[in-house]
Amino acid sequence: MTDLQTLRDRIDQLDAILIHTLAERFRNTDQVGALKATGGLPPLDESREAQQRARIEALAEETGVDPALALQILALVVDRVKDNHRKISGDQ
């Protein structure tokens, strides 16, 4: 049986992976925002957001994660991305 400290150490590793992955995601979405701005595209894309919600909900169900929780997390991330895209486009 795994001891408590081993489990906590693994949780810490997973937390680090989450944060590094989130940072990479924001770097990529900032590039998307820059491309939208230079291409004259609007900073927001409701169709893409709907696709993401459906994909995340399905992925959550597949992996045993509460879909409502997964969608809440996505909403937080997407809200920050939209703020960043507005800043990049000068549409604050």
Tokens of 88: 């990049």
CATH number of the domain encompassing residue 53: 1.20.59.10
Mind listing the pLDDT tens digit of every residue in the chain (92 residues)? 789 999 999 999 999 999 999 999 999 999 999 999 999 888 889 999 999 999 999 999 999 999 999 999 999 999 999 999 888 888 76
The total number of structural domains in the chain stands at 1
**Enclosing domain of residue 62:** 4-89
What pTM, to 2 d.p., does this model score?
Answer: 0.86
Q: Which residues contact 60 (CB under 8 A, 6 or more apart)?
A: 66, 67, 69, 70, 71
How far apart are alpha carbons 51 and 78 in whole angstroms?
A: 12
* Residue 89: count of CB within 10 angstroms of its CB: 18
How far apart are alpha carbons 90 and 24 in whole angstroms?
A: 23
**The pLDDT of residue 92:** 61
